Amino acid sequence: MELGIEVTEAEEYRVTAIMPWQARLVGNPDSGILHGGAVFAFLDQVGGLAVATRVYPSFEITPTIDFRLDHLRAPAKGKTVVGVGECYRLTEHVAFIRLTAYEEGQEHDPLATGLATYMRMKISAQNYFGKSKHE
C-alpha cells in the first residue's frame, strides 16, 4: 500500500506488477531518482508474489532467504517502474526466482535484475523461526 504496488498480470510462472513514481520513494533529492531500497522492496514483494502464483491454489508463507539485485541504470524521475518475477524452479522447500525491473514501455532496457530464493513454509512461522536463544 505504501509503495503503491499494483499487480497487472499473474500467471503460473510469471507475475508482473507496477510501482508508480512517488516523491517519498526518492533516493537522490537532486535528480528525483528512486532509492535503490525502494526498487529492492518492490522486487522482493514481486518475488514473493511469483512464489504465490506458482504454488496456487495452495497458500504458503514465503520468507526471503537471499536476494541479489544489480542496478543496471537509474530510473528516470516520474517514470512508473514495472517489475517481473519468474519462478523458474520450485523444490519441496525452496523457490528460485528471477526478477527484472524496467520503466513502463522500456522492457528491452532493464533498470535492474535480481535473483532470489524464498523458503516455502508449510508450518507456522513461529515454529520455523523459533525464538532468540536468549529470550
Partner 1 sequence: MSEALKTLIAACRKGEQPYQALVERVPYAQFLGIRIEARGEELSFVLPKADTNVGNPTLPALHGGAVAGFMEQAALIFLLLEMGEPKLPKTIDFTIDYLRAGLFRDTFAECRVTRLGRRIGNVNIEAWQTRRDEPIAIARAHFLLSDEGA
Report d(CA 120, CA 31) in Å as an integer.
39
Stretch that binds partner 1, among 7-15, 80-88, 94-102, 121-129 (CB under 8 A): 121-129
Residue that has been written with the C-alpha cell 523461526 in this structure: 129
- CA distances from residue 119 to 8, 51, 61 in whole angstroms, order as listed: 25, 10, 8
Please tell me the count of residues contacting partner 1 according to CB under 8 A: 39
Minimum distance of partner 1 from residue 111's CB (angstroms): 12
Minimum distance of partner 1 from residue 27's CB (angstroms): 5
Among 9, 56, 65, 107, binds partner 1 (CB under 8 A): 65
Report d(CA 133, CA 118) in Å as an integer.
24
Residue 6 grid cell: 499494483
Question: Residue 122, SS3?
Answer: coil
Q: Counting contacts by CB under 8 A, is residue 30 touching partner 1?
A: yes
- The nearer residue to partner 1, 15 or 34, going by C-beta atoms, is 34
Q: Counting contacts by CB under 8 A, is residue 23 touching partner 1?
A: yes
Q: Counting contacts by CB under 8 A, is residue 77 touching partner 1?
A: no
**Cis peptide upstream of residue 57 (ω within 30 degrees of 0):** yes
- The nearer residue to partner 1, 16 or 117, going by C-beta atoms, is 117
Q: Give the strand pairing for 94-103 and 81-90.
A: antiparallel
Where on the chain is the footprint of partner 1 (CB under 8 A)? 2-3, 23-31, 34-38, 40-42, 44-45, 61, 63-71, 74, 125-126, 129, 132-135
